[in-house]
Amino acid sequence: YAIRSPAAGRIETVAEARHSIGTQALAARIRRDDGSAIEVRAPFAASVEAVAVRAGGHVAAGSELLTLSASPDQVWEALRGLYLIGQADDLPDVDRWSGASDRIGRQAAQTAQAIRTRAERMSNR
């Protein structure tokens, strides 16, 4: 998941690669040209996979700040939710987790099967 800059400015602080951050944790702080600061927060608990900017550097609005990778627990919970309400168009996202660790891979397989069964029932109506 790419976090993008909501505004142009100078990066005051940014999370470090290969570190974990929690939901709503500070991912970056941007100082605008008018002196105001914008705090960019993580939308979910994750690992910081890559950082595209360095503290002190300038960033344009809409440019990538950093990339997050969801924690295994977050992925598992999302798959559980999709098990209940997922649709056929969710299958590519579900299937990409089928080769993951035992727990996540099993949940992905069960979720994919539930979605396919639900889609088949809907098409038979």
For the cut 90, the answer to whether the pLDDT of residue 112 exceeds it is: yes
**pLDDT at residue number 123:** 87
H or E element in which residue 4 lies: strand 2-4
| Residue recorded with tokens 């994750």 | 46
| Residue 56 · residue 10 · CB < 8 Å | yes
Using 50, 70 and 90 to split pLDDT, how confident is the model at 65? Answer: very high
CB 62 within 8 A of CB 45: no
As a whole number of angstroms, the distance between CA 111 and CA 91 comes to 9
Our measurement of the distance from residue 9's CA atom to the centroid of its chain's CA atoms, rounded to an integer in Å, reads 24
pLDDT tens readout for residues 68-100? 998 888 889 999 999 999 999 999 999 989 888
Mean pLDDT is lowest, of 23-32, 69-78, 101-110, 114-123, for: 69-78
pLDDT category of residue 7 using cuts at 50, 70 and 90: very high
Say how many C-beta atoms besides its own lie within 10 A of residue 119's C-beta. 15
Give residue 87's pLDDT. 95
pLDDT at 30: 98
Q: Which residues contact 8 (CB under 8 A, 6 or more apart)?
A: 32, 33, 58, 59, 60, 61
